[in-house]
Amino acid sequence: MSGLRDALGDYLNLRRSLGFKLERSGQLLADFVSFAERADAPAVTTELALAWATAPADADPAWWRARLAATRPFARYLAAFIPGTEVPPAGLLPGPVSRRAVPYLYSPPGIGALITAAAAIRTPLRAATYQTLIGLLAVTGMRAGEAIRLDRPDVDLRAGLLTIRESKFGKSRQLPLHATTVAALAGYATVRDQRHPRPATAAFFLSLTGTRLIYKNVHFTYHRLTQAAGLSLRSPQCRPRIHDLRHSFAVTTLLRWYQDGGDVAAQLPLLSAWLGHADPASTYWYLTGTPELLALAATRLETSIQEA
Protein backbone atom coordinates (compact mmCIF):
# COMPACT_ATOMS: atom_id res chain seq x y z
CA MET A 1 0.00 0.00 0.00
CA SER A 2 1.39 3.41 -0.99
CA GLY A 3 1.86 6.40 1.28
CA LEU A 4 -0.88 8.27 -0.57
CA ARG A 5 -3.32 5.42 -0.03
CA ASP A 6 -2.52 5.30 3.68
CA ALA A 7 -2.97 9.06 3.85
CA LEU A 8 -6.31 8.81 2.03
CA GLY A 9 -7.59 6.34 4.62
CA ASP A 10 -6.56 8.67 7.45
CA TYR A 11 -8.08 11.67 5.66
CA LEU A 12 -11.44 10.01 5.08
CA ASN A 13 -11.58 8.68 8.66
CA LEU A 14 -10.87 12.16 10.00
CA ARG A 15 -13.47 13.91 7.84
CA ARG A 16 -16.11 11.26 8.48
CA SER A 17 -15.54 11.49 12.22
CA LEU A 18 -16.57 15.14 11.87
CA GLY A 19 -19.89 14.17 10.29
CA PHE A 20 -19.05 14.29 6.56
CA LYS A 21 -20.32 11.33 4.51
CA LEU A 22 -17.92 11.79 1.56
CA GLU A 23 -19.48 8.94 -0.41
CA ARG A 24 -18.80 10.24 -3.90
CA SER A 25 -15.63 12.06 -2.84
CA GLY A 26 -14.29 8.88 -1.29
CA GLN A 27 -14.83 6.97 -4.53
CA LEU A 28 -13.26 9.72 -6.62
CA LEU A 29 -10.22 10.06 -4.37
CA ALA A 30 -9.64 6.29 -4.34
CA ASP A 31 -9.57 6.43 -8.14
CA PHE A 32 -7.25 9.45 -8.03
CA VAL A 33 -4.82 7.65 -5.71
CA SER A 34 -4.80 4.64 -8.06
CA PHE A 35 -4.00 7.03 -10.92
CA ALA A 36 -1.14 8.53 -8.87
CA GLU A 37 0.19 5.06 -8.05
CA ARG A 38 0.23 4.07 -11.72
CA ALA A 39 2.16 7.27 -12.44
CA ASP A 40 4.53 6.45 -9.55
CA ALA A 41 3.87 9.92 -8.12
CA PRO A 42 5.06 10.40 -4.51
CA ALA A 43 3.01 13.56 -3.97
CA VAL A 44 -0.04 15.34 -5.33
CA THR A 45 0.78 18.06 -7.85
CA THR A 46 -1.42 20.37 -9.86
CA GLU A 47 -0.30 18.68 -13.07
CA LEU A 48 -1.15 15.23 -11.72
CA ALA A 49 -4.58 16.30 -10.43
CA LEU A 50 -5.41 18.03 -13.70
CA ALA A 51 -4.39 15.01 -15.77
CA TRP A 52 -6.59 12.74 -13.67
CA ALA A 53 -9.56 15.14 -13.62
CA THR A 54 -9.63 15.45 -17.41
CA ALA A 55 -8.83 11.79 -18.14
CA PRO A 56 -12.40 10.99 -19.26
CA ALA A 57 -11.91 12.78 -22.59
CA ASP A 58 -15.57 12.64 -23.61
CA ALA A 59 -16.95 13.82 -20.25
CA ASP A 60 -18.78 17.08 -19.65
CA PRO A 61 -16.39 19.86 -18.47
CA ALA A 62 -18.58 20.18 -15.38
CA TRP A 63 -17.59 16.62 -14.45
CA TRP A 64 -13.91 17.51 -14.92
CA ARG A 65 -14.37 20.44 -12.53
CA ALA A 66 -16.14 18.23 -9.99
CA ARG A 67 -13.32 15.69 -10.13
CA LEU A 68 -10.67 18.36 -9.71
CA ALA A 69 -12.58 19.96 -6.84
CA ALA A 70 -12.52 16.63 -4.98
CA THR A 71 -8.71 16.66 -4.95
CA ARG A 72 -8.30 20.11 -3.36
CA PRO A 73 -9.25 19.40 0.28
CA PHE A 74 -7.26 16.16 0.14
CA ALA A 75 -4.23 18.04 -1.19
CA ARG A 76 -4.55 20.67 1.55
CA TYR A 77 -4.53 17.85 4.10
CA LEU A 78 -1.44 16.24 2.51
CA ALA A 79 0.46 19.53 2.32
CA ALA A 80 0.95 19.45 6.09
CA PHE A 81 3.22 16.40 5.99
CA ILE A 82 4.15 15.42 2.41
CA PRO A 83 6.80 17.72 0.89
CA GLY A 84 6.17 18.82 -2.68
CA THR A 85 2.38 18.66 -2.37
CA GLU A 86 0.58 21.24 -4.50
CA VAL A 87 -3.03 22.32 -4.03
CA PRO A 88 -4.72 22.78 -7.44
CA PRO A 89 -6.01 26.36 -7.59
CA ALA A 90 -9.69 27.14 -8.04
CA GLY A 91 -10.65 28.30 -11.51
CA LEU A 92 -8.02 26.13 -13.17
CA LEU A 93 -10.63 24.70 -15.51
CA PRO A 94 -12.87 27.20 -17.36
CA GLY A 95 -16.55 27.55 -16.66
CA PRO A 96 -18.68 27.92 -13.55
CA VAL A 97 -17.67 26.02 -10.43
CA SER A 98 -21.10 24.38 -10.22
CA ARG A 99 -24.25 24.29 -12.28
CA ARG A 100 -27.53 23.19 -10.81
CA ALA A 101 -29.42 20.68 -12.90
CA VAL A 102 -33.03 21.47 -13.76
CA PRO A 103 -35.17 18.97 -11.82
CA TYR A 104 -36.93 16.36 -13.92
CA LEU A 105 -40.37 16.19 -12.37
CA TYR A 106 -41.90 12.77 -12.85
CA SER A 107 -45.58 12.25 -13.57
CA PRO A 108 -47.36 9.22 -12.06
CA PRO A 109 -47.31 7.51 -15.51
CA GLY A 110 -43.57 8.21 -15.73
CA ILE A 111 -42.93 6.56 -12.37
CA GLY A 112 -45.14 3.67 -13.44
CA ALA A 113 -43.09 3.28 -16.61
CA LEU A 114 -39.90 3.09 -14.54
CA ILE A 115 -41.33 0.38 -12.31
CA THR A 116 -42.57 -1.53 -15.36
CA ALA A 117 -39.08 -1.30 -16.90
CA ALA A 118 -37.60 -2.62 -13.65
CA ALA A 119 -40.05 -5.54 -13.72
CA ALA A 120 -38.61 -6.54 -17.10
CA ILE A 121 -35.15 -7.17 -15.61
CA ARG A 122 -34.44 -10.85 -16.22
CA THR A 123 -33.17 -11.74 -12.75
CA PRO A 124 -36.16 -11.94 -10.36
CA LEU A 125 -34.36 -10.61 -7.28
CA ARG A 126 -32.81 -7.70 -9.17
CA ALA A 127 -36.17 -6.87 -10.76
CA ALA A 128 -37.89 -6.90 -7.36
CA THR A 129 -35.10 -4.82 -5.81
CA TYR A 130 -35.36 -2.00 -8.33
CA GLN A 131 -39.15 -2.07 -8.50
CA THR A 132 -39.35 -1.71 -4.73
CA LEU A 133 -36.49 0.78 -4.44
CA ILE A 134 -37.95 3.12 -7.07
CA GLY A 135 -41.41 2.88 -5.54
CA LEU A 136 -40.08 3.62 -2.06
CA LEU A 137 -38.13 6.67 -3.24
CA ALA A 138 -41.17 7.97 -5.11
CA VAL A 139 -43.60 7.73 -2.18
CA THR A 140 -41.25 8.85 0.60
CA GLY A 141 -38.92 11.38 -1.05
CA MET A 142 -35.98 9.88 0.81
CA ARG A 143 -32.47 10.07 -0.63
CA ALA A 144 -31.24 7.13 -2.68
CA GLY A 145 -28.27 6.76 -0.35
CA GLU A 146 -30.62 6.58 2.64
CA ALA A 147 -32.56 3.73 1.06
CA ILE A 148 -29.37 1.84 0.23
CA ARG A 149 -28.17 2.19 3.85
CA LEU A 150 -31.41 0.82 5.34
CA ASP A 151 -30.90 -2.24 7.50
CA ARG A 152 -33.63 -4.76 8.24
CA PRO A 153 -34.33 -3.46 11.77
CA ASP A 154 -34.88 0.00 10.23
CA VAL A 155 -37.92 -1.27 8.31
CA ASP A 156 -40.61 -2.05 10.89
CA LEU A 157 -43.37 -3.62 8.81
CA ARG A 158 -45.62 -4.29 11.81
CA ALA A 159 -45.60 -0.68 12.93
CA GLY A 160 -45.44 0.66 9.36
CA LEU A 161 -42.45 2.77 10.28
CA LEU A 162 -39.17 3.50 8.53
CA THR A 163 -36.12 4.67 10.52
CA ILE A 164 -33.42 6.62 8.68
CA ARG A 165 -30.36 6.72 10.89
CA GLU A 166 -27.69 9.41 10.92
CA SER A 167 -28.17 10.60 7.39
CA LYS A 168 -27.02 13.96 6.02
CA PHE A 169 -25.79 16.33 8.78
CA GLY A 170 -25.89 13.36 11.17
CA LYS A 171 -29.69 13.64 11.52
CA SER A 172 -32.00 10.67 12.08
CA ARG A 173 -35.75 10.58 11.46
CA GLN A 174 -38.71 8.23 11.24
CA LEU A 175 -41.24 8.07 8.40
CA PRO A 176 -44.69 6.46 8.78
CA LEU A 177 -45.57 4.33 5.77
CA HIS A 178 -48.85 3.86 3.91
CA ALA A 179 -50.35 0.37 4.05
CA THR A 180 -49.66 -0.15 0.32
CA THR A 181 -46.00 0.71 0.83
CA VAL A 182 -45.77 -1.71 3.76
CA ALA A 183 -47.29 -4.42 1.58
CA ALA A 184 -44.79 -3.73 -1.22
CA LEU A 185 -41.84 -3.86 1.20
CA ALA A 186 -43.16 -7.09 2.75
CA GLY A 187 -43.48 -8.63 -0.72
CA TYR A 188 -39.91 -7.68 -1.56
CA ALA A 189 -38.64 -9.07 1.75
CA THR A 190 -40.25 -12.43 0.91
CA VAL A 191 -38.53 -12.60 -2.49
CA ARG A 192 -35.24 -11.43 -0.99
CA ASP A 193 -35.28 -13.99 1.81
CA GLN A 194 -36.10 -16.83 -0.58
CA ARG A 195 -33.05 -15.94 -2.68
CA HIS A 196 -30.72 -15.19 0.24
CA PRO A 197 -31.94 -16.84 3.46
CA ARG A 198 -28.55 -16.28 5.12
CA PRO A 199 -27.17 -12.99 3.73
CA ALA A 200 -23.78 -11.61 4.73
CA THR A 201 -25.23 -8.19 5.50
CA ALA A 202 -28.11 -6.69 7.48
CA ALA A 203 -29.04 -4.49 4.51
CA PHE A 204 -32.72 -4.41 3.59
CA PHE A 205 -32.06 -4.12 -0.14
CA LEU A 206 -29.73 -6.79 -1.49
CA SER A 207 -27.68 -7.26 -4.63
CA LEU A 208 -27.63 -10.53 -6.56
CA THR A 209 -24.70 -11.73 -4.45
CA GLY A 210 -26.47 -10.98 -1.17
CA THR A 211 -24.48 -7.83 -0.37
CA ARG A 212 -25.59 -4.23 0.14
CA LEU A 213 -26.28 -2.29 -3.05
CA ILE A 214 -23.49 -0.04 -4.33
CA TYR A 215 -24.46 3.59 -4.89
CA LYS A 216 -22.67 3.90 -8.23
CA ASN A 217 -24.25 0.71 -9.56
CA VAL A 218 -27.72 1.88 -8.55
CA HIS A 219 -27.26 5.11 -10.51
CA PHE A 220 -26.02 3.20 -13.54
CA THR A 221 -28.97 0.79 -13.47
CA TYR A 222 -31.43 3.63 -12.94
CA HIS A 223 -30.08 5.42 -16.00
CA ARG A 224 -30.63 2.27 -18.06
CA LEU A 225 -34.17 1.99 -16.72
CA THR A 226 -35.02 5.58 -17.71
CA GLN A 227 -33.99 4.70 -21.26
CA ALA A 228 -36.05 1.51 -21.23
CA ALA A 229 -39.03 3.50 -19.89
CA GLY A 230 -38.75 6.01 -22.73
CA LEU A 231 -38.02 8.98 -20.45
CA SER A 232 -36.08 11.40 -22.65
CA LEU A 233 -34.16 14.57 -21.88
CA ARG A 234 -36.29 17.70 -21.70
CA SER A 235 -33.19 19.86 -22.17
CA PRO A 236 -29.40 19.41 -21.79
CA GLN A 237 -29.81 20.45 -18.13
CA CYS A 238 -33.00 18.48 -17.48
CA ARG A 239 -32.50 14.75 -17.65
CA PRO A 240 -34.18 12.05 -15.55
CA ARG A 241 -32.10 11.37 -12.45
CA ILE A 242 -32.85 9.20 -9.45
CA HIS A 243 -32.55 12.25 -7.17
CA ASP A 244 -35.43 13.88 -9.06
CA LEU A 245 -37.82 11.41 -7.45
CA ARG A 246 -37.15 13.44 -4.31
CA HIS A 247 -37.85 16.70 -6.14
CA SER A 248 -41.09 15.25 -7.50
CA PHE A 249 -42.21 14.15 -4.04
CA ALA A 250 -41.61 17.64 -2.60
CA VAL A 251 -43.45 19.43 -5.42
CA THR A 252 -46.37 16.97 -5.33
CA THR A 253 -46.70 17.44 -1.56
CA LEU A 254 -46.75 21.22 -1.89
CA LEU A 255 -49.27 21.01 -4.72
CA ARG A 256 -51.57 18.85 -2.60
CA TRP A 257 -51.39 21.34 0.26
CA TYR A 258 -52.37 24.19 -2.05
CA GLN A 259 -55.26 22.16 -3.45
CA ASP A 260 -56.46 21.34 0.06
CA GLY A 261 -56.44 25.04 1.00
CA GLY A 262 -53.97 24.60 3.84
CA ASP A 263 -51.48 27.11 5.23
CA VAL A 264 -48.50 26.16 3.08
CA ALA A 265 -46.07 28.47 4.89
CA ALA A 266 -46.97 26.89 8.24
CA GLN A 267 -46.66 23.36 6.86
CA LEU A 268 -43.33 23.83 5.12
CA PRO A 269 -41.29 22.99 8.27
CA LEU A 270 -43.11 19.62 8.31
CA LEU A 271 -41.90 18.90 4.78
CA SER A 272 -38.39 19.95 5.80
CA ALA A 273 -38.43 17.54 8.75
CA TRP A 274 -39.77 14.74 6.54
CA LEU A 275 -37.03 15.27 3.95
CA GLY A 276 -34.34 15.48 6.64
CA HIS A 277 -33.37 19.10 6.01
CA ALA A 278 -31.73 21.25 8.66
CA ASP A 279 -34.17 24.12 8.03
CA PRO A 280 -36.92 25.12 5.55
CA ALA A 281 -34.45 27.18 3.54
CA SER A 282 -32.92 23.96 2.23
CA THR A 283 -36.35 22.71 1.18
CA TYR A 284 -36.87 25.63 -1.22
CA TRP A 285 -34.31 24.02 -3.54
CA TYR A 286 -36.83 21.25 -4.15
CA LEU A 287 -39.89 23.39 -4.74
CA THR A 288 -39.47 23.94 -8.45
CA GLY A 289 -42.40 25.81 -9.93
CA THR A 290 -44.72 23.92 -12.26
CA PRO A 291 -47.51 25.62 -14.23
CA GLU A 292 -50.18 24.11 -11.97
CA LEU A 293 -48.28 24.96 -8.80
CA LEU A 294 -47.63 28.54 -9.92
CA ALA A 295 -51.29 28.99 -10.87
CA LEU A 296 -52.43 27.83 -7.42
CA ALA A 297 -49.90 30.09 -5.70
CA ALA A 298 -50.99 33.06 -7.82
CA THR A 299 -54.66 32.39 -7.01
CA ARG A 300 -53.84 32.16 -3.32
CA LEU A 301 -51.92 35.46 -3.47
CA GLU A 302 -54.71 37.22 -5.38
CA THR A 303 -57.28 36.05 -2.84
CA SER A 304 -55.19 37.26 0.09
CA ILE A 305 -54.76 40.69 -1.53
CA GLN A 306 -58.51 41.02 -2.13
CA GLU A 307 -59.25 40.07 1.46
CA ALA A 308 -56.70 42.51 2.89
| Residue pLDDT, tens place only, 176-204 | 999 999 999 999 999 999 999 999 899 99
Do 199 and 291 belong together in one domain?
no
Distance of alpha carbon 308 from alpha carbon 299, whole angstroms: 14
| Domains contained in the chain, number | 3
- What is the tens place of the pLDDT at every residue in 57-94? 888 888 899 999 999 999 999 998 899 999 999 888 87
Total-model pTM? 0.68
pLDDT of 304 strictly over 60: no
Distance of alpha carbon 80 from alpha carbon 299, whole angstroms: 59
Q: How many CA atoms lie within 13 Å of 202's alpha carbon, on the beta-carbon side?
A: 7
In a domain, 98, yes or no: no
Do 40 and 121 belong together in one domain?
no
Instruction: Bin 95: left if φ > 0, else alpha if -120 < ψ < 50, else beta.
Output: left
The pLDDT score that the predictor gives to residue 240 is 94
Q: Which residues are catalytic?
A: 143, 168, 243, 246, 277, 286
The pLDDT score that the predictor gives to residue 287 is 66
In a domain, 294, yes or no: yes
Do 60 and 123 belong together in one domain?
no
Task: Compute the chain's Rg from CA coordinates.
Answer: 22
Closest CA to 285 of 154, 124, 98: 98
The pLDDT score that the predictor gives to residue 111 is 97
Domain around 265: 244-307
In a domain, 95, yes or no: no
